[in-house]
Structure 1
Amino acid sequence: MQKSMQKGQNAKSSEALIPSLVQTIEQAFQLKRNPLPWGKAIGAGICSGTPVLIGLALGNIKYGMLAGIGSFTYLYVSNIPYTQRAKRLFFVMLGLSLSVGLGTLVAPHPLASAFVVGMIGAVVSFIFGAFKIQGPSSIFFVMGFSLATGMPLDPAAAPVRAGLVLLGGALGWAIAMIGWLRNPHGPETTALRQVYRELAGFIDSVGTNRSHEKRQKLVSVLKSADETLSVGQVSWQRSGQYQRLLLLNDKANTIFLDILERLDGQAGKLPPHLGRTVRAIADSLDGKNGHPLPIDFQREPSAGGERLEADVREAAALVSEPITVMEREEHVARPSFRMVMGGAFDKNSIVFLNSIRFGLILAVAAIFAYSFELNRSYWVTLSCAAVMAGSTLIATFHRAIQRTIGTVVGIMVATIILSAQQQGWIIAVLIMALTALTELSIVLNYGLAAFFITPNALLLAESMAQQKSLSFFASARIVDVLMGCAIGLIGTLMIGRRQASSLLPHYIAKTIRSEQQYMLTLFSDRRDTVDVTQSIERRKLHTNLGNLKLVYATAVGEVPGNKTRLQFLWPAIFSIEHVAYLLDSCLKTGTCPVLSDAKLSQLLLAFETMAISAEQGVALEKKPIPEITGFSQLEKEIRVLQDALQVSCKDR
């Protein structure tokens, strides 16, 4: 009986697996509905082709191609403040130069090359993960190193090659910073514009079934804007526009809290003119002033909405009034380098574990390629790195499919281009066009981008090396890509495929305990003796919260995964994030009450009980939450968190 039941269950699981596999493959070819980044695409094309044209004009196209590797610096541009962008791209430029120099030095020693490429992949992946940097991560550092190992062996040429890459990187840095001359606070303004658009959407959604979803997105956008503004602050420069943005950010947080307070008192939709005015604020955030917004308010505010409407009026006034009248200065705390690295460099850190896995598999791929003495063996390593760049196991599987099919099509395109024996200037134009098309298509689908990545990489590599027959390099390239994709996929499946799921209870408990410590500092008399904004408790909370969200996102993409359990955990994770947001809001008000020892003990007991419940997966008895004068939303959200944890534990 038991055997027959087991067979039935196995049959059902097999039947469920087939549709799931088919669905996963279909997802790999879906086009995302993202706006095309025309500005970045054009800039990337100019950066990649200009060094080649300069090299051609000076009579040495190979030097131009080398400098073109440094132009990959531009591909790390994202919507971050220019002060942060300048530093980030400077270190990317140095890293690419160092990668090419190291590749040239160790190229004669295959085992050393394998070890170094693994180290480069691990270190760069760790840094990008620890600082939550968006972009291509270590892929272009690995590419620079790998291409250098495929060049003619000449360790003495390392300084020249590294120097040329540095020059190309300097060009990319300069083009990426051009926008600073026109609009120094453009990225921060973009972040605030998104905040007010999401805030308007949340206002319109109140009283509908979309309210909870809009609230989740708004909390995330508010936190992102805080981080953007914190890194945009420069101690040696005082900008009126930057102060305006800080004040608008504070006002957006205040409006959000006003809405939450109002929802406690009454249900129903908010007056539509509030959403219209907030949306008008978003549309007017273009860095200009002196243009008053049309404020469409009723003469008599709706019941209970006086404070909300007053705050929306103040936000509109902040956009319209001249910068010179803003005498108040805002300062935003930013996490220290030591705090960020300390939070990521931990035996249980998903960033640390993922970077070790990335470097190890990359080194294995390089050793495998060298062992079989493959021509241009670095293509195996490059393909392996590209596949593992997926943030989850499902994303890795998607990348393997996309890169394989995209490469086959790309090789056909490259064969046609190279067989025509194009002149130097045509190669430069083709590189510019292919780079621009890559940037436009990669936001839609990586497989589509691979159609352009492959011929572009081949043009770059084969122009710096002695070519063999086109049929030989095309067939070898396909074999190398298949090997690299297979190694990356198998390695990811073998090492830590359920790693994030197993770490999730630990990170939930750790983040709850961080909130407990932060709250103790915030609501006790100890607050008068420390700078809470810069306190280690606050910084640890935000570090642990970021790690928790990363672990959850990774767990969602694991195969096999318990999707039902993860769905039940999401309300608890969002509630944890919202409690952290409300604690920061308490800090910003400057009116946090000092709670009695009895009330603090009750809160500490409630948080410790929740942490133990998350760790052990047991629904423990809920504890009473004392009154926190003036912060009823925080009380309510702690109770919501208790309920969410109980539901998630019962589901296990």
Structure 2
Amino acid sequence: MMHYLSSLFKFKKQNINISKGTRQGLLMLIPLLIGYLTGYFQYGLLAATGTLTNIYVFGGSNKSKLRILWWCTIGFTLCIMLGTITVSIPLLFGLILLIVTVVTYYVFSALEIPGPSATFFIVTFALPINMPIAPDEALVRGFFVFLGGLFTIIVVTILLKSQKKNTQERAIEGEYQSLLQLFKDFSDKEKFKQTAEKLVGQFKATDKQLITSFTSSKKQSEQLQRLYLLHNNAEGIFAELLELNTKEIETLPDVLIDMMEYIERSVFSTIDESTTLQWKETVDIPVVFQRLEKQIYRTDEILHSPTGQIEYEAHLRQPLYGKQLKYNLTLDSLVFMNTMRYLIIMGTAVFIALMFDFDKAYWIPLTAHTILIGTHTIHSMERAVARTIGTFVGVLLLTLILMLHPPMVISILVLALSATLTEIIIGANYAVAMIFITTQVIMLNGLASGKLSILIALPRVVDVIIGVIIAVIGLLILGRKNASQTLPGAIAEVVRYEMSFFYYVFSKNNYLSNNEPKYSELKLSIKLSNMNSMYNNAHGELFADSTKISAYYPIIFALEEISFMLSRAQNNPNPQTIDDVVMGQYLIVFEDIAAHFEKHVPIYQGTGLPSLPQYVNIRTALLNIQQYARLKSNETVEQPN
């Protein structure tokens, strides 16, 4: 209990975001003041509602931030229009509200977009409840919400343009910093493993940033292509280090570490457009390190290649959002499973709110939603308590403010200040932020109705309690052990897909040389993401055995390593194939591992896998998975040869 309470009220100072909070406060304040001073306050309020799209600006490439802002602006505009049209028909209003929340939740989950998901889509859709019923004003209201979103896009664009470095450049610099650390940690197996795990996560995040930065602009494209080649080469250096580690090389020559320090400085200086560095030392190292040396020199070549050469070599992938949404529409996808659970609980919340004719009924589904977007069941339970405490304190604070009968200007300032403090604190502590979220949303709705009084605040406590009860009961019934039970099946699916990928890359049929369509790295990425999400969710389930769940981690990381190597092999212009006998041995091991997790078939003695001509770390990873699986099942363990 003490651990639960400490986690509930833990304040993470590193997650305080003053700049975003200040931006959100000013974005809301400006249209509110303009509307008030010009005598069109309702329109200013609608525009201020449109600026809430700024809340959805999180990490990622500049292009993806603006893309999310644009689609949130469109979404908010449609929400206010649909809410205005249907508010007088409760049944239709509830049905459309449910569709809006479920679709938004699924899209945000499937595309792995961080943030509050459907929260402010619900707020925008329900805002007409507090306004005069006027279906004929749907277009006008939509226009002003769109205007607020457009204002946000312009402000964020200016701020992004004023940055010295964009997020993609910082991501590449971070990769080479971590690579340098990996060189220094090479002789320490434990540190090497920890840094390697960190790098795999960095590579995935950077890859996503570069893909979502895709643009048709030639100038931006040239810079992006160079960054893409640097990222690709960083993965190549990492792959060579893994190979050397697999061969049990104990130390790296000092000159290679010096070269990597030079490369890391070169990446920084080139991106900073400072003076060009130059390597002047002669390098003489054993043959076993020469491929790594060549990969390091390749970085220097990329940094100083002319534009034409960069454009010729780089082949950027476009973001495939449609396929991401499609591939997650399967019964074995955790995103789909969670969406179905979300649909049932939110449907119940909407039904109860409308069935019993609650005043401002949207507060009940809004409360249920904010709990359901927790990262896992325990986190959702924590949010339930935080939501209750924060709402109670927020209502009490707002009641004290409203008892003073503040003038309109003060009310506007309170709303803007609440928005500011919410965004500053939300990442540091949800319970404290909930105080200001409550103040912000109630003030927004009160100003929309033109009736700022204690009567709009006090009933919200009852609404929140009902929403919390619905969400918690739903989670207890539907969120007990879904992830922990389906995790082995997700692992088996990843193994089988990697088996097919392995055959495609290394088969004597020469699929790569015959210009066959590339094997879908996106599909594998989604399957890996599904597996990792299930692992994280399983850890957060109420009745799961954390010790048993933790035993899956080394297996999951080994599969991540295999995925990384297969991707490298597919993009290698000169891959080396293997004969059918060796291929058969590897395919049997893949299938044995998959059957073990899917059907609990025991893994017996090792198969004595032969070495691969390239990417030998795949063999080591497979043998490690066998070993970890036997350990997990308390079977006899044979050390890999």
TM-score by length of 2: 0.90
Per-residue CA shift, 1:106-142, capped at 9, x if unaligned? Answer: 2223233322222212111111111111121111111
User: Which residue is equivalent to 2:8?
Assistant: 28
Per-residue CA shift, 1:13-32, capped at 9, x if unaligned? Answer: xxxxxxxx442232111122
Per-residue CA shift, 1:237-270, capped at 9, x if unaligned? Answer: 3533222211211221122122223322422477
Which residue of the other structure, out of 214, 219, 229, is the alignment partner of 2:200? 219
User: Which residue is equivalent to 1:148?
Assistant: 128
Which residue of the other structure, out of 545, 567, 575, is the alignment partner of 1:562? 545
Give the drift of 1:382.
1.6
User: Which residue is equivalent to 1:477?
Assistant: 460
User: Which residue is equivalent to 1:122?
Assistant: 102
Give the drift of 1:193.
2.4
What residue identity is the alignment partner of 2:435? F
User: Which residue is equivalent to 2:438?
Assistant: 454
CA change 1:528–1:276 in 2 (3 A) is: closer
CA distance in 1, matches of 2:284, 2:170: 33
What residue identity is the alignment partner of 2:234? A
Give the drift of 1:35.
4.5
Secondary structure, counterpart of 2:551 in structure 1: helix
What residue identity is the alignment partner of 2:137? A
User: Which residue is equivalent to 1:510?
Assistant: 493
User: Which residue is equivalent to 2:265?
Assistant: 280
CA change 1:281–1:504 in 2 (3 A) is: farther
User: Which residue is equivalent to 2:639?
Assistant: none
CA distance in 1, matches of 2:163, 2:401: 40
User: Which residue is equivalent to 1:599?
Assistant: 582
Secondary structure, counterpart of 2:421 in structure 1: helix
Q: Does 1:611 pair with 2:611? A: no
What residue identity is the alignment partner of 1:213? Q
CA distance in 2, matches of 1:35, 1:278: 32
| Conservation of the 8 A alpha-carbon contact between 1:290 and 1:320 | no
Q: Does 1:73 pair with 2:57? A: no
Instruction: Spell out the pairing of 1:519-530 with structure 2 (5 A cutoff).
Output: 519-524=502-507, 525-528=509-512
Instruction: Spell out the pairing of 1:146-545 with structure 2 (5 A cutoff).
Output: 146-182=126-162, 186-208=166-188, 209-238=190-219, 239-263=221-245, 264-268=247-251, 271=254, 273=258, 276-277=261-262, 280=265, 283-284=268-269, 287-293=271-277, 305-309=289-293, 311-312=295-296, 314-315=298-299, 318-319=302-303, 326=310, 328-334=312-318, 336-467=320-451, 469-470=453-454, 472-524=455-507, 525-528=509-512, 531=515, 535-545=518-528
Give the drift of 1:427.
3.5
CA distance in 2, matches of 1:530, 1:184: 44
Per-residue CA shift, 1:252-297, capped at 9, x if unaligned? Answer: 1122122223322422477464664465356547x33242348697
User: Which residue is equivalent to 1:42?
Assistant: 22
Instruction: Tell me whether 153-162 or 342-351 shows the greater mean CA deviation.
Output: 153-162
Secondary structure, counterpart of 2:552 in structure 1: helix
CA change 1:579–1:435 in 2 (3 A) is: same
Per-residue CA shift, 1:170-206, capped at 9, x if unaligned? Answer: 1122222224534697121122122223323333333
| Conservation of the 8 A alpha-carbon contact between 2:603 and 2:629 | no
| Conservation of the 8 A alpha-carbon contact between 1:513 and 1:608 | yes
Secondary structure, counterpart of 1:593 in structure 2: coil
Q: How many residues were matched structurally?
A: 628
User: Which residue is equivalent to 1:3?
Assistant: none
CA distance in 1, matches of 2:166, 2:613: 39
CA distance in 2, matches of 1:217, 1:468: 51
CA change 1:614–1:284 in 2 (3 A) is: farther
CA distance in 1, matches of 2:607, 2:130: 64
Q: Does 1:627 pair with 2:608? A: no
Q: Which runs of 5+ in 2 are unaligned?
A: 636-641
CA distance in 2, matches of 1:172, 1:350: 33
What residue identity is the alignment partner of 2:128? A
Instruction: Tell me whether 495-504 or 322-331 shows the greater mean CA deviation.
Output: 322-331
Per-residue CA shift, 1:618-651, capped at 9, x if unaligned? Answer: 3323434333212222222222222223333448
| Conservation of the 8 A alpha-carbon contact between 1:122 and 1:359 | yes
Secondary structure, counterpart of 1:589 in structure 2: coil
Give the drift of 1:465.
1.1
CA distance in 2, matches of 1:270, 1:506: 43
CA change 1:62–1:586 in 2 (3 A) is: same
CA change 1:28–1:278 in 2 (3 A) is: farther
Instruction: Tell me whether 119-128 or 48-57 shows the greater mean CA deviation.
Output: 48-57
CA distance in 1, matches of 2:267, 2:473: 47
CA distance in 2, matches of 1:642, 1:483: 49
Instruction: Tell me whether 226-235 or 312-321 shows the greater mean CA deviation.
Output: 312-321
Instruction: Tell me whether 574-583 or 220-229 shows the greater mean CA deviation.
Output: 220-229
CA change 1:475–1:86 in 2 (3 A) is: closer
Give the drift of 1:49.
1.9
CA distance in 2, matches of 1:578, 1:299: 30
| Conservation of the 8 A alpha-carbon contact between 1:202 and 1:215 | yes
* % identical aligned pairs: 26
Instruction: Tell me whether 580-589 or 147-156 shows the greater mean CA deviation.
Output: 147-156
CA change 1:94–1:214 in 2 (3 A) is: same
CA change 1:84–1:594 in 2 (3 A) is: same
CA distance in 1, matches of 2:231, 2:113: 22
CA change 1:540–1:530 in 2 (3 A) is: farther
Secondary structure, counterpart of 1:178 in structure 2: helix
* Aligned residues: CA RMSD: 2.8
CA change 1:404–1:276 in 2 (3 A) is: farther
Secondary structure, counterpart of 2:548 in structure 1: helix
CA distance in 1, matches of 2:244, 2:579: 28
Give the drift of 1:483.
1.7
Give the drift of 1:362.
1.8
What residue identity is the alignment partner of 1:223? K
User: Which residue is equivalent to 2:557?
Assistant: 574
CA distance in 1, matches of 2:473, 2:409: 42
CA change 1:596–1:502 in 2 (3 A) is: same
What residue identity is the alignment partner of 2:369? A
| Conservation of the 8 A alpha-carbon contact between 2:10 and 2:429 | yes
What residue identity is the alignment partner of 2:622? I
What residue identity is the alignment partner of 1:129? S
Secondary structure, counterpart of 1:54 in structure 2: helix
Per-residue CA shift, 1:467-511, capped at 9, x if unaligned? Answer: 3741x3332122222221222222122113211112111111111
Give the drift of 1:301.
5.4
Q: Which runs of 5+ in 1 are unaligned?
A: 1-20
CA change 1:494–1:531 in 2 (3 A) is: farther
CA change 1:201–1:599 in 2 (3 A) is: same
CA distance in 1, matches of 2:263, 2:218: 30
CA change 1:241–1:288 in 2 (3 A) is: farther
Q: Does 1:553 pair with 2:536? A: yes
CA change 1:43–1:612 in 2 (3 A) is: same
CA change 1:39–1:428 in 2 (3 A) is: same
CA distance in 1, matches of 2:309, 2:578: 38
What residue identity is the alignment partner of 2:58? S
| Conservation of the 8 A alpha-carbon contact between 2:365 and 2:467 | yes
| Conservation of the 8 A alpha-carbon contact between 2:446 and 2:456 | no
Instruction: Tell me whether 84-93 or 440-449 shows the greater mean CA deviation.
Output: 84-93
Per-residue CA shift, 1:504-534, capped at 9, x if unaligned? Answer: 11111111111111111111225147656x5
Per-residue CA shift, 1:411-463, capped at 9, x if unaligned? Answer: 23322333344344444433333222211211111112112211111211101
CA distance in 2, matches of 1:292, 1:189: 17
CA change 1:468–1:136 in 2 (3 A) is: closer
